[in-house]
Amino acid sequence: MDGLLEKMNEFPNRLRSHNVYDEYKALIKKYKKVNDIFQELKSDAMKPRHWRMLLSKLNIQVKFTDLTLNNLWEADLIKNSIKVNTIMGEARGELILEEFLRGIKETWAKCDLELIRYQNKCRLIKGWDDLFAQIDEHINNVSSMKMSPYYKVFEEEIVPWDEKLQKIRIVFDNWIDVQRRYVYLEGIFFGGADIRSMLPSEYNKFRGIDNEFTLLMKKVAQRPNVLEVLSIQSLQQNLERFSDTLNNIQKKLGEYLNQQRQAFARFYFVGDEDLLEIIGNSTEIKMVQRHFPKMFAGITSMNFEKHGDKEGDKLNGMYSREGEYVKFSKQIIISEDPTIYIWLAKIENMMQVSLSDTLMASIEEMSTIDIQEEAEDFTKWIEKFPAQIDVLSMQVFWSNKVEECLKTGTGSNALVHVE
């Protein structure tokens, strides 16, 4: 058609003056405009159903498979451009939904859960953020599809996927909660603390959950595809049951630990796992003392010895992080009352009493030293007592000296301003 127009433009003027020239030139230009419409009709968005609608609107009495260009030329697509554009607009809108839906199907058909080895027992799910981001994105896409004027065409496909995505969200919401609680409680119930004797009922319940949950995760590891995982029998009901049971176990555990913390306030400074280890080894000073820095800011370890047939039953004093030692004013015997918070309260009290007695002894000894004349004795005195006691003793000594000066105010005892 471009070639025909070029040839017609080369016609001599005498031929161009005829009406037939103008008519045929206009016809060719019209066909060129129709060709632009043909280019759009070639779009992948135009499905057989759209072609059938188009032929019906244009009153073309030909089957779609027998359609020719001449049929479309004769239908005057330019005159019927509104009808054509309406159908093509629907086709483009439906193509967007179709691609969204195809993307959702393809994503979940090949989506495998990311797993990581846990305690040589099973494999747990990781990458939760990416998983939830993908689920939420597709749920939002489906919601957008429902608002589209072309939704009805794909309703039978979209509704099942909407339900499936909502189910995936609910299942994995429960799953992440169960997994977090399981990991937390597994470290407590199967850790170093003798939790079985403290909470026997909760221990037995957790052991049952442990068996079921690890069995579930082994199934998941064999076939980690999300859609296949969802097909596991009674999955959602089991996860909800796990969640309820673990929540009750954790609640009972929290109540028990809260009782212990109320009995001895310094237990608030240690975490649940550490507290359970302390309680589970309540008479083992070697195990308990490693938690002392969290409960007692100044104590790192104890000076202990054997008492009777019990190793480490007698506590003689305490060491600081710097290695300074304070002897207890009175020895503490753990076996006299092995309840953990009882003998820890004795240590707390004896820490205060012993520091008080040590301070008195330090002040008394310092008062016998002439600091200016007996520097060597003063140095020995500093080395003899802990730094905390030395500093406080010197503050007491200085305060006493100032009070003496204020009382007399004359002679050698007068306060002197030094430039």
The pLDDT of residue 267 is: 95
Q: What is the pLDDT of residue 411?
A: 56
Alpha helix ranges (H) inside 266-318: 272-280, 285-288, 292-295
pLDDT of residue 97: 87
Answer yes or no: is pLDDT of 218 > 70: yes
For residue 416, the model assigns a pLDDT of 62
In degrees, to the nearest 5, what angle opens at C-alpha 160 toward C-alphas 157 and 165?
120
pLDDT digits (tens, 9 = 90+) for 55-90: 888 888 888 788 888 888 888 888 888 888 888 888
Assigned token pair, 140: 């939002």
What SS3 state is found at 17?
Answer: coil
Residue with tokens 């097909």: 231
Choosing among 1.20.140.100, 3.40.140.10, 1.10.260.40, 3.30.420.40, the CATH entry for 112-263 is: 1.20.140.100
Confidence of residue 415 (pLDDT cuts 50, 70, 90): low
**pLDDT value at position 385?**
93
Spatial distance between the Cα atoms of 128 and 412, rounded to a whole number of angstroms: 78
Local structure of residue 47 (DSSP, 8 states): -
Whether 44 shows a pLDDT value over 70: the answer reads yes
User: What confidence score (pLDDT) does residue 39 get?
Assistant: 84
Q: What was the pLDDT predicted at 278?
A: 87
| pLDDT tens, position by position, 382-412 | 999 999 999 999 999 889 888 888 877 655 5
The CATH architecture of the domain made up of 283-419 is Alpha-Beta Barrel (3.20)
pLDDT in tens, 81-139: 888 888 888 888 888 888 889 999 999 999 999 999 998 889 999 999 999 999 999 99
Neighbouring-strand partners of residue 114: 126
Lowest mean pLDDT among 242-251, 310-319, 385-394, 409-418: 409-418
pLDDT at 272: 86
Q: Residues with Cβ < 8 Å from 265, sequence gap 6 or more?
A: none
Which position has the higher pLDDT, 227 or 66? 227
pLDDT of residue 269: 94
Average pLDDT over residues 269-278: 87
**Mind listing the pLDDT tens digit for each residue in 158-185?**
999 999 999 999 999 999 999 999 998 9
24: pLDDT strictly greater than 70: yes
Domain chopping of the chain, boundaries:
2-102, 112-263, 283-419
Q: Which two tokens stand for residue 310?
A: 């019990």
- Reference 135, options 13, 30, 61, 230; nearest CA is 230
Across the chain, mean pLDDT equals 89
Positive or negative: CA dihedral 83, 86, 92, 96: negative
pLDDT of residue 220: 95
Average confidence (pLDDT) over 140-149: 89
